[in-house]
Amino acid sequence: MELTGRRGAEITPEALAAESGISRAKVAAIFPSEADLFDAVTELWFAPHGAIMEEVVDSDLPVNRKFYEFYARRFRHNRDEYRRDPAAFAVLCDLGARRFEQVRSYVDLADHYLCGLIAEAQAEGYFAGLEIDRALTLINQMTIAYTMPDLLIMVDDRLAEDKLAAIIDTIFAGLSASDGGASGLSGLRSA
């Protein structure tokens, strides 16, 4: 992961051997292909995210607090990484975007945890009438500024924990299956 950031490009097993001083045979035994090396870097990148999500979900916080911490802690972690080395962060983001199929399982894991939190919130009466999958996609879209690392690079200075909290509060106060009429597709609207 360090080498990828430092060299600004994906590292081959050969390059890893050359830079680390470990024999090519030993590197090849652990990472037979470039894809194996990429998978290992991905695992390393997402390990703190997995730990954060598990800790939040298993906590005894009220469910709206869980939602906030679910996003805020991963956002802070990403922001720390980004600010520590913006160029390396950008390289790793770019790599993740180009190899998105291999990253997909980690995105699915976050969705899995979020579905659990949505069910918990719905048991308390929030997000009334929404299918879990529908709530999931809407919440994912409304919070994407705080989860997609590419956006951190683009709008870091606009992102802040207090805004994230206001967004979570808005979702808890306003998200439901009822049609508020924005699309104007149901019923007549007066001008």
Does 151 help bind a copy of itself (rule: CB under 8 A)?
yes
- Region from 8-16, 35-43, 46-54, 178-186 binding a copy of itself, contact rule CB under 8 A: 178-186
Does 185 help bind a copy of itself (rule: CB under 8 A)?
yes
Residue 58 in tokens: 């298993």
Apex 74 CA angle, 89 and 137, nearest 5? 105
Answer for which of 123, 125, 182, 187 binds a copy of itself (CB under 8 A) is 182
Angle between helices 86-98 and 63-84 (to 10 degrees): 110
> Which residue has 């200075």 as its token pair?
157
Answer for which of 8, 32, 129, 181 binds a copy of itself (CB under 8 A) is 181
Q: What is the DSSP string of 108-154?
A: HHHHHHHHHHHHHHHHTT-STT--HHHHHHHHHHHTHHHH-HHHHHH
Answer for which of 31, 38, 67, 113 binds a copy of itself (CB under 8 A) is 67
| Site for a copy of itself, rule CB under 8 A | 60-62, 64-65, 67-68, 72, 97, 134, 137-138, 140-142, 144-145, 148, 150-151, 154, 158-159, 161-176, 178-185, 189-191
